[in-house]
A = this chain, B = another copy of it.
Amino acid sequence: MTDVAIVVHGGAGEWPADAHDAARAGMEAAVEAGHAILAAGGDALAAVEAAVVVLEDDPIFNAGRGAALDERGGVLLDASLMRGADRAAGSVAALRGIRNPVRAARAVMEDGRHLMLVGESASLFARTAGLETAPESWFRTEARRRAFENGDSSRGGTVGAVARDARGGLAAATSTGGSARKHPGRVGDSPLVAAGTWADDATAAVSCTGDGEAIIRTALAHEVDALMRHAGLPLAEACEVALAGLALRPGTGGLIAVCADDVAAPFTTPAMPRAWRLGHGPTLTAVGRDG
């Protein structure tokens, strides 16, 4: 038996001081949801899915409810998840009207026919799979409408979770509404295995956030795996080197990662809400560089 572990993030970027309390509360709730599953003997994949569902439902984050609006003022959602034991993975992009995109990614994975579905066909698949739908009005919060009307095109608020279960199994999940005022067909790193999400029990489970296009060009999540596997770096160093690579693309961002005996949550932006719980320890949260 291994000590269980879970880490969540709420998106690398600028987080104004008046949003810190809400971000911490959301992070803590997500960690508790995931930890409850791990503590009951559940697997890492179920834990990261449950944690991300909490964050998708929390309107402060840019995922599920409260997602950033695209250039037409619409909501299109992306998510992916991956299991480290066998690298099974599921992904959806440009998904519309499904309350919890991470559940749609899980449904794609469980269906097993394909790994990634996009657009209207992905939405139809998710509805057919019996996933809960929600009207556009449920996703579009007043804060996002104001930001859209003010021309705000900031990024950030993507959510993710990584976990290690009692059998040493790892998993990662990532979910986002994408960059604000994006082209409605735009796909960033979050739903892309190797870019935004990766998990392999032999190395690490990783969920990324930040400048999506630069993260894709860095293959950021898989680069952490590669640095551990091929260069022999420990987790924390692999994450730092991978983020230094992101800076060259150029881009800023952050990631959370877990391996057999460590966790990491580095970022190169001013802030990245994050929380973690290791074994029977307390849930710890932080937003900026100094906590």
Q: Which residues of B have CB within 8 Å of A194?
A: 192, 194-195, 216, 219, 222
The answer to whether A230 and B226 touch across the interface, beta carbons within 8 angstroms, is yes
Distance of A224 from chain B, by nearest CB (Å): 11
A122 contacts across to B, CB distance below 8 A: 185
CB distance from A77 to the nearest CB of B (A): 13
Per the 8 Å Cβ criterion, residues 98-140 of A in contact with B are: 113-122, 124-125
Name 15 extra pairs, CB < 8 A, besides A222-B222, A226-B226: A88-B217, A89-B217, A94-B119, A94-B121, A114-B187, A115-B217, A116-B187, A119-B185, A120-B120, A121-B186, A192-B193, A194-B195, A198-B219, A219-B219, A231-B231
Chain A interface residues toward B at CB < 8 A: 87-89, 91, 93-94, 113-122, 124-125, 182-188, 192-195, 198, 212-213, 216-219, 222-223, 225-227, 229-231, 249
A183 partner, pick from B125, B188, B222, beta carbons under 8 A: B125
Secondary structure class of chain A's binding surface, majority of residues? mixed
Residue from the set A91, A212, A216 with the largest chain B CB neighbour count within 10 Å: A216
Q: Across the interface, which residues of B come within 8 angstroms of A187, CB to CB?
A: 91, 93, 114, 116-118
CB-contact partner of A192 in B113, B192, B212, under 8 A: B192
Task: Tell whether, in the assembled complex, residue A216 and residue B185 are in contact, meaning their CB atoms are under 8 Å apart.
Answer: no
B186 and A114 form a contact (CB under 8 A): yes
